[in-house]
Structure 1
Amino acid sequence: MKRVLIYLIFTLSLANTALAQSDPMDALYGHFKNANSKEIAKSFSSSLEIILLDQEDVYSKAQAEQILRDFFIKNPPLSYVKVHSVGNTNVKYRYGVIILTTKNGKFRVSILMDKVSNGYLISELKIESEK
Structure 2
Amino acid sequence: MKPLLALMLLLLHFPSNNTAQADIIDDLSVHFKVGNSKEIAKNFAGSVELIIIDQEDVYSKAQAEQILRDFFVKNSPNKIAIVHRLSTNPNYRLGIFSLGTKTGKFRVTITLKKNVANAFLITELRIEPDKE
Tell me which interval the TM-score lies in, with the shorter structure as reference length: 0.7 to 0.9
> Structure 2 length as normaliser, TM-score?
0.85
Aligned to 1:34: 34
Output the aligned Cα RMSD.
2.0
Q: Deviations over 1:22-50 (max 9, x none)?
A: 52111111100011101100000011110
Structural mapping, 1:70-89, within 5 Å = 70-87=70-87, 89=88
Cα-to-partner distance string for 1:67-111 (whole Å, 9 max, x where unaligned): 000101111111111111111x10121011001000110000000
* 1:1-131 map, 5 Å: 10=9, 18=16, 21-23=20-22, 24-87=24-87, 89-118=88-117, 119-131=119-131
Identity %: 52
**Regions of 4+ moved over 6 Å:** 3-6
**Counterpart-to-counterpart distance in 2, 1:50 and 1:6:** 49
Which amino acid in structure 2 is aligned with residue 90 of structure 1?
Answer: N
Give the C-alpha shift of residue 21 in structure 1.
3.0
Query: How far apart, CA to CA, are the structure 2 residues paired with 1:22 and 1:60?
Result: 25
Q: 2: CA distance between counterparts of 1:42 and 1:101?
A: 22
Larger radius of gyration: 1
Alignment-mate amino acid for residue 60 of structure 2: S
Structure 2 spans left out of the alignment, 5+ residues: none
User: Across the two proteins, how many residue pairs are aligned to each other?
Assistant: 128
Instruction: Flag the 1:12–1:124 CA change in 2: closer, same or farther, 3 A.
Output: closer
- Cα distance in 1 for residues equivalent to 2:130 and 2:85: 18
CA distance in 1, matches of 2:35, 2:122: 17
